Amino acid sequence: MEKPEDKPSKLQSDRYLLEICYTASFLCLTRIRKRAIFANR
């Protein structure tokens, strides 16, 4: 059986990973956008 206190920590770690992925993809997108802007000039 799972301990009840294990669930919140799992949820927190999942959210943490999600935030990391989110920021990483956001940074990649902005970098690509900047490159595209420079290429268009």
User: Measured between alpha carbons, how far is 33 from 27 in angstroms, rounded to an integer?
Assistant: 10
Separation of alpha carbons 19 and 13, rounded Å? 10
Backbone angles phi, psi at 3, to 5 degrees: -80, 140
What's the pLDDT score for residue 6?
A: 65
Q: With a cut of 70, say whether residue 1 has pLDDT above it.
A: no
Q: Tell me how far apart the alpha carbons of residues 19 and 38 are, in angstroms, rounded to a whole number.
A: 29
Could you say which DSSP state residue 2 is in? -
pLDDT one-digit tens code per residue, 11-41: 889 999 999 999 999 999 999 999 988 887 7
pLDDT at position 4: 63
- Quote the distance between the C-alpha of residue 4 and its chain's center: 27
Number of residues that make up the chain: 41
